[in-house]
Amino acid sequence: MVDGLKKAFILIRTRTGQNFSMYKQSTIRRRVERRMGLHQLTRIENYVRYLQETSRPDPARH
């Protein structure tokens, strides 16, 4: 899951400028799990693919 999280953060930072480096790991995991649940994704790899395929994620949602 760690590699998948890193990929997700790179995609989000590239597209939105949002930097998660100062967030606690528990906060990051909770937020990602929430986003995955909203999109009915069960694996981090699927969430990364979702981020890659969407045009631009809404920064307020991450």
Residue 58 is predicted with a pLDDT of 54
Question: What are the contacts of 47-51 at 24+ separation with CB within 8 A?
Answer: 47/4, 47/8, 48/4, 48/7, 48/8, 48/11, 51/8, 51/11, 51/12
- The model's pLDDT over 9-54, given as tens digits with 9 standing for 90+, comes to 888 888 888 888 888 989 888 988 999 999 999 999 999 999 888 8
pTM (global) more than 0.75? no
- The model's pLDDT over 11-22, given as tens digits with 9 standing for 90+, comes to 888 888 888 888
Q: How many residues in total does the chain contain? A: 62
